[in-house]
């Protein structure tokens, strides 16, 4: 199914058209539901910043034509992913949007998650879990771009219009998680750093810890080696593709 198998076991799919269909959540045995809740409650006690908000999980991903993917999705909450820590249980793969934000000199921005997040210290692209539509809205490509643009504003303070974001590649990680990666217009380094500093200050002024606590600008995947801490599994393949390295 994949066109290329980069390092770290991450599949990358070139895509021009993405078809989306809502599906039903698979039934969960009562014992797995009880174990999931126990694991979730323990996680919340360890990190009270966690919240059980609505998110979208991936039910299936398949190619239906040249550069066309069909994605079926399910409404769940963050609690669902506690199933990953329940022996014998099956959790649906997570589904998220993220953004390649380039500089005008050809580098790409990567960001580090804050200590209070579910992945403290992890380097990744700006982005987040996909949220289900509300109030009769539909989940389509414009809605996806809108969520990607919102992540840029919330995490980096950078205001890209949804119509200026291009669906660039779809990734499937080692645990099956699916990422919808958008490409944003290039910006000067000074603008990116000033926007990030202002966004972080605004969060702190509201008494909240920013979701991201640092950014770095990379010209090649080799530079990832200097970033201490865990890396998202898709990060090296994405930076490699953007930099043109083979």
Query: What's the pLDDT score for residue 73?
Result: 96
28 in a structural domain: yes
1 in a structural domain: no
184 in a structural domain: yes
For 24, list phi and psi in degrees, rounded to 5.
-85, 145
CATH, residue 56: 3.90.79.10
Query: What's the pLDDT score for residue 117?
Result: 84
Q: Which of 166, 169, 172, 198 is nearest to 185 (CA)?
A: 166
For 15-50, b/e burial (b = at least 16 CB within 10 A) is beebebeeeeeeeeeeebeebbeebbeebbeeeeeb
Residue 48 lies in domain: 7-243
The answer to whether 101 and 152 are in contact (CB under 8 A) is yes
- For residue 177, how far is the Cα from the chain centroid? 9
35 in a structural domain: yes
In whole angstroms, give the CA distance from residue 114 to residue 121: 6
CA dist list (Å): 88 to 26, 38, 91, 188, 242: 15, 15, 10, 49, 38
What pLDDT digit, counting tens, does each position of 38-51 carry? Answer: 999 999 999 888 88
Q: State the virtual CA torsion across 224, 226, 232, 233 in degrees, nearest 10.
A: 50
What pLDDT digit, counting tens, does each position of 136-169 carry? Answer: 889 999 999 999 999 999 999 988 899 999 999 9
Q: Which of 106, 116, 123 is nearest to 216 (CA)?
A: 123
Copy the structure tokens of residue 225: 């080696």
Residues of the chain whose pLDDT is less than 70?
1-8, 245-246
Structural domain count, the chain: 1
2 in a structural domain: no
159 in a structural domain: yes
């Amino acid at each position: 199914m994949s066109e290329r198998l980069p390092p770290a076991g991450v599949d990358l799919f070139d895509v021009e058209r993405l078809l989306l269909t809502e599906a039903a959540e698979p039934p969960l045995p009562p014992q797995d539901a009880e174990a999931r809740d126990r694991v979730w409650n323990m996680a919340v006690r360890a990190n009270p910043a966690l919240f059980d908000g609505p998110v979208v999980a991936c039910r299936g991903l398949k190619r239906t034509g040249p550069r066309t993917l069909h994605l079926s999705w399910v409404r769940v909450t963050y609690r669902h992913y506690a199933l990953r820590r329940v022996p014998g249980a099956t959790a649906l793969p997570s589904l998220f949007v993220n953004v390649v934000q380039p500089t005008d000199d050809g580098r790409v921005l990567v960001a580090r998650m804050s200590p209070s997040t579910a992945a403290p210290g992890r380097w990744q692209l700006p982005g987040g879990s996909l949220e289900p539509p509300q109030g009769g809205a539909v989940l389509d490509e414009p809605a996806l771009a809108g969520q990607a643009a919102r992540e840029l504003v919330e995490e980096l303070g950078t205001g890209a219009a949804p119509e200026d974001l291009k669906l660039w590649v779809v990734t499937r990680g080692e645990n099956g998680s699916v990422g919808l990666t958008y490409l944003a217009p290039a910006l000067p380094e000074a603008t990116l750093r000033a926007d990030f500093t202002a966004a972080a200050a605004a969060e702190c002024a509201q008494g909240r810890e920013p979701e991201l606590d640092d950014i770095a600008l990379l010209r090649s995947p080799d530079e990832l080696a200097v970033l201490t801490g865990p890396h998202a599994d898709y990060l090296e393949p994405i930076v490699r593709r953007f930099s043109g390295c083979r």
